[in-house]
Structure 1
Amino acid sequence: MSEELKDLPGPWGIPVFGSLLSLTTFKEKTLMKWAEENYGPVFVVRMGSANVVVLNGYEAIQEAMCSKAQVHSGRFEALMFDVYREDRGLFFKQYDHVWEKWRKFAHDGLEHVWETLKITRFLDRVKENRNKFGIKLLGLVDERMDEQRKSQDLVTYFYRGNQQPNAEEREGLAFVLADLIQAGTTTSTAQFLWVLLFLLKNPDSMTRLQEELDTVLSDCDDPVESAITQKYDELNFSRAVLEETFRMRPVAPTGLLHQTLNDTSVMGFKIPQNSAVMPNLWSVHHDKHHWSPDPEVFRPERHLDESGSFKKSNHVVPFGLGWRSCVGPKLVHLNLFAHMVNIFHYYDVKLSPNDVNIDMAGISTTLLNPPPFKVTFNPRRKV
C-alpha cells in the first residue's frame, strides 16, 4: 500500500483476502455501514490484491466524479478485462482520446436516435461468446452500410460522419455496440422488474398510479406514446414511482471501479495516481439524513412538491456521476417509463400468493437483481 493510502482509515482485513470475504454479497450496504459507524465518507479497503478507495455520500462522490471528473475517469485495470477486451469498447476501455471519441459518439448517437433504435434485434444473442458476438456485430456494420438505409439507428448515425471507416474504426464500433447492448439489456431488465415488484408490494401506490394514467391518458389515441411525449410532464406520480424505484434499488449500486489518472484528493484525503476508486451510490440513495425519516420505505410521494408536481433530486443517481456515467440515461429512463405505463394502463397485475412474503433485499451478484417472482395479468381494457 502506498504511503498516501496508509493515511486513509479503513478495516485491516485478513492476509491475502483483505476484506473481500465481508463484501461478497450486498457490499454496498456493508461499505455504507462501515462509513457511518467507523471510517467516515472516504476510506480504503483491501479487496484481494487490490486496495480500493471507497467513496460514500453525495459530497464525496460529487467532488470526485464531477468536480474532479477527468482525474477519476480511468478504468481500473483487471487482468481478466485486459485479456477479454484488449482495451476496446467503452465500459472497460482505459481513458484516452479514443475513449473520448467513442463516448461522445455513443452519447450523441443515443440522444439523436433513441426513439427509433433498431439495434435491439440482436438482444437474443447477447449471451454468446464475446468474439462471436463481435463478428456478428461487424456483420451488422457491413450490412447497414450496404443497405444504405435511412432509418435512424446507431450504425447509420456512425456512417453519416464516417463515410469510409477503416478496419480499426469498424471494429471499435462493433465493440461499443456490444457494450451498449450487453450492459443496457441486463441492467434495464433488472431495473424494470424492481419497478414491477415494488408496485405489487405497495398496492396503494399501484392504485394511485393507475388512476393517474386513466385520467391523464383518457383521450389519447396512443397512450404509451403520449405518456413519453406530450403528456409526460402531467404524469407526476408515475414519474415519482420510477424515481423512487431507482432510489430504493439501483441495479449497479457501486458500478465499475474507477482509476485515478493522477495524484488527487477527495475531502482532504490524498489519493495517489493509479488508485482504484469505488463510488458507493447506495450510500447516496439511502442517506439517513437526506431521506429522513424513512430512507428504507418505498414512498414515491417524497418526489412530489406541495402542489403535487414531480421534483428531481440530485440524491438519486442510478446512472452514476461524471464522465463514466451511463451514456444513454434518457433512453433507459423513457424505455422503463413506457413499459411501466404500458403494463399498468392496460392490465391489473397481481403477485402470486406464493410470493407475497418475497425477500425485497434482492439477489446481490454483479448487479442487484430482484428475486424470481410470478404474477398474473388481467386486462383492464382492450389492448
Structure 2
Amino acid sequence: MDLVGVAPLLLVSCIAFLLILIWRRQLSKGNLPPGPPPLPVLGNVLQLDLRNLVRSFWRVRDQYGPVFTIYLGSRPVVVLCGYEAIKEALIDNAEVFGGRGSTMALDEKRRNGHSIITTNGERWRQLRRFSLTTLRNFGMGKRSIEERIQEEAQFLVEAVRKTEGCPFDPTFYLSHAVSNVICSVVFGKRFDYDDKEFVTLLVLINKSIQIAFSFWSQLRLAFPSLMKIIPGPHHQRNEYLDELVRFVNRRIQMHRESHDPNCPQDLIDCFLTKMEQERQNPASEFHDDNLVVTVVNLFFAGTETVSTTLRYGLLLLLRYPEIEAKIQQEIDQVVGRNRSPCMEDRSRMPYTDAVVHEIQRFVDLIPLGVPHSVIRDTVFRGYTIPKGTSIFPMLTSALNDPQHFETPRKFNPGHFLDENGAFKKNEAFLPFSTGKRVCLGEGLARMELFLFMATLLQNFSLRTLKSPEEINILPQALSSGNLPRPYQLCMVPR
C-alpha cells in the first residue's frame, strides 16, 4: 500500500482516537447517576426512541431508578423521576438546580441569548422580576385581568354561537381567545377573530409547537452542529419564529411613536420607560433585543399552552358527558345563566375546580418539563453532577405518581376531591413545574382555564360526531409533548 492510500486511513484513525479520548474525558467528569452505557459521539441515541422520549425514559427508569443519566449525543442529561426526586432537586435545592438547560423554546444563537425562558444569571433575574411586576400591575392576580378574561370569554361565546351547532374544529377559536388575553396586557389591545395577520400568526405558533415536540427537535438537541446543515422541518421553526419577531417589532415601533412614559398602557410601554430610565447604564438588560424576545416569549407561551389544555379538556368532556353534566349542574346552582362566572365562584364550585385540575394532570402537556441545569458542581443523592449539566425534571412522573394519584392513568376528578366533595390540593400536581423556574404565567393560566371553561359550559352543551366510547383521548404520538388528536365537535346553546 503506497503512502497516498495510507494517509486517509491514518487521518481517520487519528480522528477516531481523539474522539475516544475526548469521550473518555467527558465520561470521567463527576460521578453521574447510573444509566445505559453510551456510545462515543452518538451517546444513547440508538438506545432511545427519539419519536417517543417519554416512553424511553420510563423504560430507563425501570432499570436504573428514579435518578439516571442519558447522553444526547455527547451531552449528559440527568433525568429526575417521581415527585420526591423532583421536589428534592427543584425545591429543596432550588438555587443550584435553578439554571436553564438547552431548549428549543427559541434558537438561542439567532436570538443572541436574550430571553426570559432560556437565559440564566442576572439577565434572567431582572427580566423575570420585571415581567412578574408588570403583569401584576396590569392585573395578573387582580380583578382587572379577570375582567379582561371575562370580556374575551364573551367574544368567544359569540364566535361559537355563529357555528349554529354545526361541527367545527375548536383549535383557532380557543387560540384566538387565549392569545387575546395576553395581547391585551402586552400590546394593549385585542384582535378580531377574522384578523388575517393574527390568524396567520396563530397558525405559525401551532405549527411551531408541533415541531418543538417532534423527533427533529430531539435530534437538534443531541447534535446541534450537525442539524444546522441537515435539511428538515426543524429549520422551518426558525422561519415561523422570525415571522413572529417581525410582528412584534412592528407593534413595538407603533408603541414608540405613541409612547407616553407618564401613562403606560401595557407591558411594552413599561419596558420602553425602563429602557429610557437605564439609558446611561451600559450593563442594563433593558434594551431592544431583550424587549423583542420578552414579548415573543410571553406571546408564544401565553397562547399555546392554555389553548391546547382547553382543547384537550373539551375532548375529555366529550368522552365523559356525565362529567360535563355535573359541571353544568354546579354552574347553574352557583352562577346561574344571567351573569359571567368569576374567580370568587371557584371556591363554591369544587367539582368544576377539580375537573380543571384533572384536565391539566391528565393532559400532561409538557411531560419532560423544560430543561434545567445545575449552576455549579453539586452532590445529589450521592452522585456528583458537574456544573452546566442539563436536568430533565420528568413532570409526567409526578403527575402520574401512584403514591399521590389513586388511578393515574385514568381521567378521574376525584383525585382533587375529598370524601365530602370539597376540593383538595395535591403536592404532586406540577403542570407548571416548581421551584425558581416555575412557569411565569401560572396565575394567569389558572384563571383563564377556570373562567373560559366555566363560561363555555354555562352557555353550551357539547355534542360529539360519534359515540363517546369511540373517542380516542390518547395524545398524538409526539416525541416530548402531548397534543390532542384533531377532532370536531358541536356546541349547542343551552
> Paired residue for 1:70?
95
Alignment: residue pair count? 373
Secondary structure class of the residue paired with 2:436? coil
Cα deviation for residue 365 of structure 1 reads: 4.1
**For the Cα contact (< 8 Å) 1:123–1:181, is it kept in 2?**
no
Are 2:223 and 1:105 aligned? no
Q: Does 180-189 or 106-115 show the bigger shift?
A: 106-115
Equivalent residues of 1:237, 1:310 under 8 A apart: yes
Q: Following the alignment from structure 1 to structure 2, what is the Cα–Cα distance between the partners of residues 68 and 137?
A: 37
Distance in structure 2 (CA, Å) of the matches to 1:98 and 1:87? 10
Q: CA deviation at 1:202?
A: 1.3
**Amino acid in structure 1 at the alignment position of 2:454:** V
Report the Cα offset of residue 223 of structure 1: 1.9
1:60–1:266 CA contact under 8 A, matched in 2:
no
Q: In 1, distance between residues paired with 2:400 and 2:360? A: 11
| 1:32 paired residue among 22, 35, 58 | 58
- Tell me the secondary structure at the aligned position of residue 437 of structure 2: coil
Contact 2:318 2:463 in 1 (8 A): yes
Q: Secondary structure at the match of 1:290?
A: coil
Q: Give the aligned partner of residue 80 of structure 2.
A: 55
Contact 2:275 2:287 in 1 (8 A): no
1:349 aligns with 2:462: yes
Q: Name the CA distance, whole Å, in 2 between partners of 1:109 and 1:264.
A: 34
Aligned-partner Cα distance in 2 for 1:348–1:199: 10
Which of 41, 59, 68 does residue 43 from structure 1 map onto? 68
Q: What are the residue-to-residue correspondences of 1:92-171 with 2, within 5 Å?
A: 92-93=118-119, 95-113=120-138, 114=140, 115=145, 116=148, 117=182, 118=184, 119=187, 121=191, 124=199, 125=201, 127=204, 129-148=240-259, 152-159=265-272, 161-164=274-277, 166=279, 169-171=287-289
**8 Å contact kept, 1:355–1:373:** no
- Partner residue, 1:377: 491
How far apart, CA to CA, are the structure 1 residues paired with 2:471 and 2:42? 33
> How many angstroms apart in 1 are the aligned matches of 2:59 and 2:31?
21
Which residue in the other structure is 1:203 paired with? 321
Output the amino acid matched with 1:43.
F
Moved more, 316-325 or 121-130: 121-130
TM-superposed deviation, 1:307? 2.8
Partner Cα distance (1:20, 1:256) in 2: 20
Secondary structure of 1:242's aligned partner = helix
- Deviations 1:178-204 (CA, angstroms, capped at 9, x unpaired): 011112212222211121111111122
Q: Do 2:79 and 2:392's aligned partners in 1 also have CA atoms closer than 8 Å?
A: yes
- Give the direction of change, closer, same or farther, for the CA distance of 1:373–1:15 in structure 2 (3 Å limit): farther
- The alpha-carbon deviation at position 83 of structure 1 amounts to 2.3
Once residues 333 and 252 of structure 2 are traced to their aligned partners in structure 1, the CA distance between those partners, rounded to angstroms, is: 44
Aligned alpha-carbon RMSD (Å): 2.7
Cα deviation code 1:6-48 (max 9, x no counterpart)? 552112255654433523234224323432x211111001223
The answer as to whether partners of 2:54 and 2:479 remain within 8 angstroms in 1 is no
Equivalent position of 1:23 in the other structure: 49
Corresponding residue for 2:340?
Answer: 223
> Whole-Å Cα distance in 1 between the matches of residues 103 and 441 of structure 2?
25
Confirm or deny that 1:183 pairs with 2:301: yes
Q: Give secondary structure in 1 for the equivalent of 2:113.
A: coil
What code does the residue aligned with 2:108 have?
D
Residue in structure 2 matched with residue 360 of structure 1 by the alignment? 473
**More deviation, 346-355/51-60:** 346-355
Task: Name whichever of 193-202 and 208-217 sits farther off.
Answer: 193-202
Corresponding letter in the other structure for 2:433: G
Matches within 5 A, 1:231-380: 231-292=345-406, 294-353=407-466, 356-363=469-476, 364-380=478-494
The DSSP-based 3-state class of the residue aligned with 1:253 is coil
